[in-house]
Structure 1
Amino acid sequence: MAEEKKDTDDHLLVGSVVKAFRVLEAFDRPHRSMGFSEISRVTGLEKSAAQRAAHTLWRLGYLEKTPGSGEYRLSLRCQDIGMRFAETNRIVEAVAPYISLLRRKTQASVNLTMLDGTETVFVQRHTTVDMLGNKLGVRARLPAYCTATGIAMLARLPDDEVRDVLARSDLRPVMPNTVWQTDRILERIGETRAQRYAFGVEEDMASDITLACGFTDPATGDVAAIGLSYFSGTTSVEEVHAQARDLLVSVVDNLAGELAGN
């Protein structure tokens, strides 16, 4: 995995574009709407730079002004970018029928995740009623080292890339069951490679049992995983293994073969 270059080393980098995206990425749940001063504080940009970037994004339609306060907030046009990713990504397109199959055949929440640096990103989530209380929908990104889907995806990488990801991760216990020590994570990745799936119990969120299997798109190098998440209050580890392990591995094998053939 190539080392990231500093901004000052990249003479093709357009600074104004960087600032605009810093402004867009500043809007989140704690910062639903912001004025120039708060945008400047959150992004670290000078107020004049924050003002120009926000105004430009407003003119382009990616920000809108909140009635009454005049503060900026993300517009619906921002969602178009995510939807275009889904429309153009080979994995998202290929996985659709397999997600439907798993939803019919299991009692689990079915998740498609992809690896982005040190994080696992939920690209698709189909949540059961049992899992709604876990607020799974709040977080689109989680550290890869402490999730079953993340471990399943790390198992698809060469050892040197795995160590690079772990070196750049903030390794710490998120839950009492979190495996966060480097040697134990590497051991877990080895087990995942041998058995073809990763398994986690309340390692990143409470009341969660997740079974995950990773795969790679050979045409793009994208690494992804399908995860089946169960509510531990109504399902046991043994039941998850019996119901879904072989099915999930078979589904991912078929999906990987389809991607390899296209």
Structure 2
Amino acid sequence: MSRNRLASVASAVAVLKAFTSTSPEWGVSDLSAAVGQSRSSVHRILSTLTDEGLLEQDSRSGRYRLGLALFDLAAAVPSQRSLHEAVLLPMTDLRNKSGETVQVGVLDGRQVVYVERLDSPNTLRLFTQLGRRNDAHCTGTGKVLLAFLPKTELERLLRGWTPPRQTEHTIVGRTALTAELTLVRTNGFAENRQESEVGVVSIAAPIRDDTGSTIAAMSVAGPADRMDQRRDQLADAVVTLALATSRRLGYRGRR
């Protein structure tokens, strides 16, 4: 542990991170068990965070949820605000052109976090939630984000990592994954062919900022039969509209 790390702050952060899209509300006892802290400690943290507006407490159930002050903090993050503004129109265009679910993800370590989503208008949809995480090696967005990392950073992430198998199609070997990422850099887009969920295919392309760094990836995803019928068309569309997003962020490269 870093000498500069404050245990009290780390405890409060652990409590905040427990509030997710799948667990939006917590009672004191359940949260105490989830974060591995005493009930009295968690209660003090919850009270403090509520006083500061970062959490709010339901007056009837007594359970806690995220407060409005967190939205103010999120709005103060320039890169995320710019990304949100830049992707909205291209994502809508891609969803309308493809008829499939469109998502934007960012890299967090060896995982991809989905920060934007537009659902497919078709009957059979994907219900990926915002904030959901998945291992980067088995998703289209994740492969893009890994492939376009600086070489030294990619090597650091891959060192000592045994990628978990999610389906029979998941690429788990280091040699095979490295070859796959090389192909992604060559093609300019990545494919997830039922590697994270059987029956689901996705195609993703990089979103770059004004420095040329890949900061996110845009993907189109749907059932394998629908996606396979239009693979080339969808790949062209996602590459074009991811590039359009990059242009809105100031990127001036050719691809």
**Fold equivalence (TM over 0.5):** yes
Deviation at 1:150, TM superposition (A): 0.5
* Aligned twin of 2:114: 122
Q: Distance in 1 between matches of 2:228 and 2:7?
A: 50
Deviation at 1:216, TM superposition (A): 2.7
Report if the CA contact (8 A) 1:91-1:217 is conserved.
no
In the superposition, relative to structure 1, how do residues 236 and 40 fare at CA in structure 2: closer, same or farther (>3 Å)? closer
In the superposition, relative to structure 1, how do residues 165 and 89 fare at CA in structure 2: closer, same or farther (>3 Å)? farther
* Aligned twin of 1:185: 177
Contiguous gaps of at least 5 residues in structure 1: 1-5
Report if the CA contact (8 A) 2:141-2:218 is conserved.
yes
Q: Distance in 1 between matches of 2:174 and 2:123?
A: 30
1:100 corresponds to which of 79, 92, 99: 92
In the superposition, relative to structure 1, how do residues 76 and 34 fare at CA in structure 2: closer, same or farther (>3 Å)? same
Deviation at 1:162, TM superposition (A): 1.5
Contiguous gaps of at least 5 residues in structure 2: none
Q: Distance in 2 between matches of 1:166 and 1:41?
A: 32
Percent of residue pairs identical: 24
Report if the CA contact (8 A) 1:156-1:215 is conserved.
no
Deviation at 1:141, TM superposition (A): 1.2
- TM-score, structure 1 normalization: 0.82
* Aligned twin of 1:203: 195
Q: Distance in 2 between matches of 1:15 and 1:149?
A: 34
Q: Distance in 2 between matches of 1:256 and 1:20?
A: 36
Deviations 1:138-181 (A, max 9, x none): 76111111111100111111232112223375611112211122
1:244 aligns with 2:234: yes
Report if the CA contact (8 A) 1:112-1:124 is conserved.
yes
Q: Distance in 2 between matches of 1:141 and 1:85?
A: 20
- TM-score, structure 2 normalization: 0.84
Report if the CA contact (8 A) 2:201-2:224 is conserved.
yes
SS of the equivalent of 1:210 reads strand
* Amino acid in the other structure paired with 1:34: G
Report if the CA contact (8 A) 2:114-2:130 is conserved.
no
RMSD over aligned Cα, in angstroms? 2.7
Equivalent residues, number: 250
SS of the equivalent of 2:222 reads strand
Q: Distance in 2 between matches of 1:149 and 1:88?
A: 17
* Amino acid in the other structure paired with 2:234: A
1:256 corresponds to which of 238, 246, 249: 246
Q: Aligned runs of 1:1-262 on 2, under 5 Å?
A: 6=1, 8-9=2-3, 11=4, 13-28=5-20, 29=22, 32-35=25-28, 37-85=29-77, 89-130=81-122, 133-137=125-129, 140-167=132-159, 171-219=163-211, 221=213, 223-233=215-225, 235-241=226-232, 243-258=233-248, 259-260=250-251
